[in-house]
Structure 1
Amino acid sequence: MQNFNDATDLTAGDVTVELSVRKGILETEVPCEPLPVSPNIPFSTSRGLRFGVITFLLLLSAYFGSIFFQGPLLPLAFLAPKLFRWCIDWTMASWLLFSEFLIVKVAGVRVRHFGDDFLPHSPDGASLLLLNHRTQLDWLFAWGLGAPVQRMKIILKESLAKFPGVGWAMQCASFIFIRRQIATDQSRIDTLISYLLNSGAGCELLIFPEGTNLCSTSLARSNQFARKANLPYVAYTLHPRCTGFVYLVTLLGRHRLSAIYDVTVAYPDHIPFPEIDVFAGKVPQEVHYHVRRISASELPWDCPDGASGDLDERLAGWLRAQWMAKEAFLKEYYARPVEERRFKHEVQGQSQAFQRDTITDQLHPTLLGLANAIFWFISLIVFTYYLYISWIVFSFAVLVQITFVYLSIFSGGINFWASKQLGGPLLTGPVRSLSERSG
């Protein structure tokens, strides 16, 4: 591990982090609160109501979509497993396109993409997206980046799988739910990543290496860890938990992993925290995502001449270096006036729901985005109506929900059950100890 009590430069991309020290202790005081402190913007009843409507529509559409679109597809999991995977991914793509439409058009949140584009990889390849976790809404706004992010499978805590509707849909989509103990999680991770690769759908994973969102409590814990581990104090990010990242990289390997996307989220005008404030209309006007594509070949696979340490240590050190660069990157970003907060090199993005007018910089719905939104609105009305008047539809909905609950409890989840039907080679990573926490 690098000694951060020495004056050190960490370089990640075009960002250099300079760590000044004095008598073995960093010159900066321990931050008590996350930075920056968001301005106390006034309440907006109309924006709050709009966000409330969006939340209701997202939850209702996820609930009905899991029952009436994904439920009937379950037999395909053992009759035609690859077709099942394709159909489920299609339903998720449609729902996420609807989500993007609501976030941008109804909530009025402009999602801007800076830095590098997302590049395709081979069907048997894999990529990792690393995102700092500023608020619990980061993943929701990230869907505004378009199809590349909407294809990704999120690694998230197991409790979210139990939510009716949303949890079932995420299980069907093969999101990976973990308990944050890598020794107990690794079997599920191995199985589900192997399933995604064997299905030919590719393996694109979104992870939050910090493990939780940034708040005063998590920041205090992070800086307490920094003191013990001789790391710099942070205020704009949390120190990453490296075990999960290291495990994923070693599991996928240098020949299968094509790229790492180091993504930084920033809120130029208002940080939606606490998240419940969005229902009072305290919604950001814009959310900025800076993407830095790092070829997997740039990871420290091989030990430099004269250096020591195993691959796990080198990968953990690499991730910490990226995060210290991210800390400095955000500090510089938020030091600017609100109207000047932008990253360099804005890109068009790959949204299928909206098209940007290069002259006015306005977003206009595409025909696909508009048709998809109309489809979902009509579907919600039709499902509600037939649930009320038809005992057959009602009975079908009850049966599907019972099936989802059964698979969730007795088969380890819908995703784990589906993976058993496909078969194929199983990737296995190095065995981890019970004391290691995943990130």
Structure 2
Amino acid sequence: MSSLNEPPVLGAGQPIGTRLKGWFFAAAMLLSAFFGVLYIVTPLVVLLFVKPKLWRKMLDRLVGIWVIMPGALCNYIFGANIRIKGDFIKHDEASLIIMNHRTRLDWLFFWNALYKMDPWLCTSEKISLKGMLKYVPGAGWAMQAASYIFLDRSFDTDKTKLDNILNYYAETENKYQLLLFPEGTDKCPKATERSRVFAEKKGHVHYQYVLHPRVTGFVHIVQAMRRANNIDYIYDVTIGFGDAIVQSEVDIASHGVCPKEIFYQVVKYPINRIPQSDEALGQWLINLWRDKEEKLRRFYEMPRNVRQFPDTPDGMEYELDNNTDTAQKWLIGFWCFTTCFWMFMFFQSAIMFYWAIIACIFYAAVHKIYGGLEFLAIDRFNHSKQYEVVSQDPEVLNT
């Protein structure tokens, strides 16, 4: 059941033509990720052991080239019009992006929004997401290679992971924009009921359009990035839907349903204007989410044909130009062609087949030993740093 004034939630019961679109979309995403990891990413793993910094740069760009495709397919297959307005997100400055999490597809549509704003953001954005997703063959391995952050929703178990990866981001000296959903999960009926019970227990207002944010993880991430001097801005992003809501990946893949009107608003906050203490920082987030609830209430009370978020003082609405639109289409063609070629060779070539088997065993072993490819990358990067120290000062070796 959707919140007051929200558009309807779409799901099962679609005609076969609509479902075929979803099946093609899911196949394009999963197969391109699976074979791309086997035949592009895996051969590059050698760089982890000889040039870990080069590995990081190459994988950021390779994954960035891939993530452009799913967002573009939403446009061309489903007719989704993804609109983004507000303050410009800078790809060359470290930042934290926080967003309300209405559906499990918010990150997917956001790739398209970032591409409209600045294509380079697709190479520098990192995502915190559910830990179970790292086990998806192909796509999960690609996200590990991209050094995304997989969380288990328990701060006690997530704290060490967060510290290791946030420190890795800082020490690589690359500038990343980390996407975090402070609510911890999407606003499905079960999560909404849990949020209602929490609000009732704490004496808080029960929100209609957002969930109460989880303060502890947010505060820890901001303060860790501050200590590493690796955060310039916090960007508050609000997502809203015009015609329909599609709750999960299963709905878009199995039933072929996709919203046609998705709206994003971006508001920039320089880090030097954000409270310093843990308590004040947590209250800042709580106040921001209270204001976001009111913003979304006003958004959904508008008639659909004029529904939009307000402008920000220095913001604008972002659109594709001819070059970026053409590049999107070429990338769709590239991934579709190469995926078909890899599939053909997988079944026709013994070398390609056995390489795939070896690669699958490799990723299983890496997960068993290191906990995932992202932690192998951290381990090799740290070894490289130690070697550089010894090379510069041989006396360190004797101490």
With the length of structure 2 as denominator, give the TM-score of the two structures: 0.87
Q: Which residue of 1 aligns with 2:144?
A: 171
Of 59, 62, 74, the residue aligned with 2:30 is 59
Secondary structure of the 2:321 match is strand
Seen in structure 2, the aligned counterparts of structure 1 residues 261 and 268 have a Cα distance that, compared at 3 Å, is same
Of 48, 59, 69, the residue aligned with 2:40 is 69
Does the 8 Å contact 1:33/1:219 carry over to 2?
A: no
Q: CA deviation at 1:365?
A: 6.0
Seen in structure 2, the aligned counterparts of structure 1 residues 277 and 38 have a Cα distance that, compared at 3 Å, is farther
Q: CA deviation at 1:188?
A: 1.5
> CA deviation digits over 1:115-170, x for unaligned, max 9?
11112444xxx211101110111111111111325531111121111111111000
CA distance in 2: counterparts of 1:273 and 1:191, whole angstroms? 32
Q: Which residue of 1 aligns with 2:234?
A: 260
Q: Which residue of 2 aligns with 1:185?
A: 158
CA distance in 1: counterparts of 2:39 and 2:86, whole angstroms? 39
Secondary structure of the 2:206 match is coil
Q: Which residue of 1 aligns with 2:363?
A: 404
CA distance in 2: counterparts of 1:258 and 1:244, whole angstroms? 19
CA distance in 1: counterparts of 2:18 and 2:174, whole angstroms? 38
Count of aligned positions: 372
Of 327, 330, 333, the residue aligned with 1:374 is 333
CA distance in 2: counterparts of 1:136 and 1:66, whole angstroms? 23
Q: CA deviation at 1:67?
A: 0.9
Q: Which residue of 2 aligns with 1:151?
A: 124
Q: Which residue of 2 aligns with 1:105?
A: 76
Report sequence identity in percent.
Answer: 33
Letter of the structure 1 residue corresponding to residue 259 of structure 2:
P
CA distance in 2: counterparts of 1:223 and 1:262, whole angstroms? 23
Q: Which residue of 1 aligns with 2:316?
A: 347
CA distance in 2: counterparts of 1:149 and 1:247, whole angstroms? 25
Of 132, 137, 140, the residue aligned with 2:105 is 137
CA distance in 1: counterparts of 2:329 and 2:211, whole angstroms? 39
CA distance in 1: counterparts of 2:261 and 2:166, whole angstroms? 34
Moved more, 144-153 or 42-51: 42-51
Moved more, 185-194 or 148-157: 148-157
Q: CA deviation at 1:273?
A: 3.2
Q: Which residue of 1 aligns with 2:260?
A: 285
Q: Which residue of 1 aligns with 2:273?
A: 298
Letter of the structure 1 residue corresponding to residue 230 of structure 2:
R
Does the 8 Å contact 2:130/2:152 carry over to 1?
A: yes
Q: Which residue of 1 aligns with 2:390?
A: none
CA distance in 2: counterparts of 1:378 and 1:419, whole angstroms? 33
Secondary structure of the 2:3 match is coil
Moved more, 251-260 or 319-328: 251-260
Q: Which residue of 2 aligns with 1:338?
A: 304
CA distance in 2: counterparts of 1:70 and 1:274, whole angstroms? 28
> Stretches of 4+ moved more than 6 A in 1?
none
> CA deviation digits over 1:163-184, x for unaligned, max 9?
1111100000000112222222
Seen in structure 2, the aligned counterparts of structure 1 residues 120 and 141 have a Cα distance that, compared at 3 Å, is closer
Higher share of residues assigned helix? 2
Q: CA deviation at 1:283?
A: 2.1
Secondary structure of the 1:293 match is strand
Q: Which residue of 1 aligns with 2:175?
A: 202
Does the 8 Å contact 1:135/1:272 carry over to 2?
A: yes
Does the 8 Å contact 1:135/1:214 carry over to 2?
A: yes
Q: CA deviation at 1:355?
A: 2.4
CA distance in 2: counterparts of 1:36 and 1:322, whole angstroms? 21
Does the 8 Å contact 2:67/2:122 carry over to 1?
A: no
Seen in structure 2, the aligned counterparts of structure 1 residues 118 and 274 have a Cα distance that, compared at 3 Å, is closer
Q: Which residue of 1 aligns with 2:244?
A: 270
Of 153, 165, 185, the residue aligned with 1:212 is 185
> CA deviation digits over 1:242-297, x for unaligned, max 9?
11100001111174310011001100111113664444443211110111111111
Aligned-pair RMSD on alpha carbons?
A: 2.2
